[in-house]
């Protein structure tokens, strides 16, 4: 009889990236968290900045809220 071993995984946490960093690491951190290329997130962010103007404010808020990876 094989017992099922439950492996405790640490919960996934969102951090600002120190590797994929251009300004503050927000887009790089989001890319690492969701498992996608940070360039895609950066392009989406630029679209929001140009189309709606809310991207800059959202980036600044994310910069303040998302902790830095230690």
pLDDT digits (tens, 9 = 90+) for 2-26: 566 667 777 888 888 888 888 888 8
The two three-digit tokens of residue 9, written as one number: 């995984």
Span 34-49, pLDDT tens digits: 999 999 999 988 888 8
1 pLDDT higher than 80: no
Is residue 44 within 8 A of residue 58, CB to CB? The reply is no
Q: How far is residue 3's CA from residue 50's CA, in Å, rounded to a whole number?
A: 55
Pull the structure tokens for residue 16: 């600002």
3-state SS assignment for residue 16: strand
């Amino acid at each position: 009889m094989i017992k099922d071993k439950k492996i405790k995984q640490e919960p996934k946490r969102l951090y600002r990236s120190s590797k994929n960093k251009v300004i503050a690491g927000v887009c790089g951190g989001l890319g690492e968290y969701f498992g996608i290329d940070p360039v895609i997130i950066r392009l989406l962010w630029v679209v929001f900045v140009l189309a709606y103007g809310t991207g800059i404010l959202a980036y600044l808020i994310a910069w303040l809220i998302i902790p830095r990876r230690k």
